[in-house]
Amino acid sequence: MRIDTSKRISHRDLESAIGTFTDPYPYMLHLDQTIEEVLLLLQSKKTGRRAEYFYITDHSNILKGFVTLSDLIYNPPHLLLSEIVDKNVLKVYEDDPLESGLQFLSHHQLLVAPVVNRSHRLVGILEMIPNNNHYFRQKKIHHKYLKEDVFQFIGFSLEHRKWNSPWMEYRLRMPWLLCNLVGGLVCALISNFFKLTLEQYVILAFFIPLVLTLSESISVQSMTLSLRFLHLRKIHWEQVAKRFYVEAKSSLLLGLTSALLIGIFYFLWNSDYRPVMGISVSVVASMLASALFGALFPILLHSVRLDPKVAAGPIILMCVDILTIAAYLGLNTLILMNFKYIVDNV
């Protein structure tokens, strides 16, 4: 039976053998048949099936390869299939679990794959049925969107299985929580290094959560915008440079606006103007640096063939927290201490 994407795949199904979900292959094509014979056979078969590949066997039903519809149309009709067959055929085994079969389909971006036994005899095909197949046909939407719909379903089914086990959830979630833990501990050490500044200007501590929130938010926004144009395997560095330039200008405007609003609130609360200078400068600097880092880091991950959607978020937040607390306390210390030095020597 085919796998219908309108129905959720249960965990029991994922553990079942692929052979349970195998459909019979409707075309019996052999190496010694000519293209003309195959075309006549296909015309006589009214299966209503849209076939991308035709699988070829020998007379012992051992899978030997495949041909495409283009191979059959654009080659002379007298040629044998053995002369045009592509032997690099991708296949799955009937006794493997369905989960591995779905991973195979998703990895190779296939809607159908031949199923063989351990003797490499063709026993059928593993095929996915899009849950909106009729909709796509009625609306005449491109076939690639239909495939994307199926692969999203496969990804969801496999991810859902992962999150069903407490131990698996722990293994998947704990490494990213460790990023936050390490970032928080490093921020605590940095704060301890600037404890004299915090003791003298206690008001700076009140704004730490706000500054961290602003930096984290703008870095996540930048990361999300960068991920939008990483859908291609090849990186176009001209686009990256343009994206970096636009991000720098927009984050600078966002930082200046945030600093202005903080300054207005500060003077409604406190009349000492010295700390607000350091707070404003550090807000602008930390937001600018966080935005640029958030925009660049996913691109770097993508360039080394790592998945930025998985790894970028927790690592960016950890680095941004450390960068922000260091910039905030460092710049405030520099500005306030120099201001005090100037006042004392005037």
- Torsions phi, psi of 55, nearest 5? -90, 140
Share of the chain above pLDDT 70, in %: 76
Which of 13, 21, 1, 3 is closest to 99 using CA atoms?
Answer: 13
Find the farthest-apart pair of alpha carbons in the chain and give their distance in angstroms, rounded.
101
Q: pTM for this one?
A: 0.54
pLDDT at residue 151 tops 60: no
What pLDDT is attached to residue 145?
40
Calpha distance 316→65 (Å, rounded): 46
Mean pLDDT of 175-184: 84
325-336 pLDDT, tens digit each: 999 999 999 888
Region(s) of the chain under CATH 3.10.580.10: 3-162
Mean pLDDT of all residues in 231-236: 58
Of the pLDDT bands very low, low, confident and very high (cuts 50, 70, 90), residue 146 is very low
Distance, in Å, from the CA atom of 259 to the CA atom of 274, rounded to the nearest integer, reads 14
Note the pLDDT tens digit of each residue in 184-213. Answer: 999 999 999 999 889 888 889 999 999 999
Give the class (CATH, top level) of 166-345: mainly alpha
pLDDT at 122 over 50: yes
Per-residue pLDDT for 80 more than 90?
A: yes
For 3-162, the fitting CATH number among 3.40.50.1220, 1.10.3720.10, 3.10.580.10, 3.40.50.2000 is 3.10.580.10
Within the chain, which residue ranges are assigned CATH 1.10.357.20? 166-345
Query: Higher-confidence residue: 94 or 27?
Result: 94
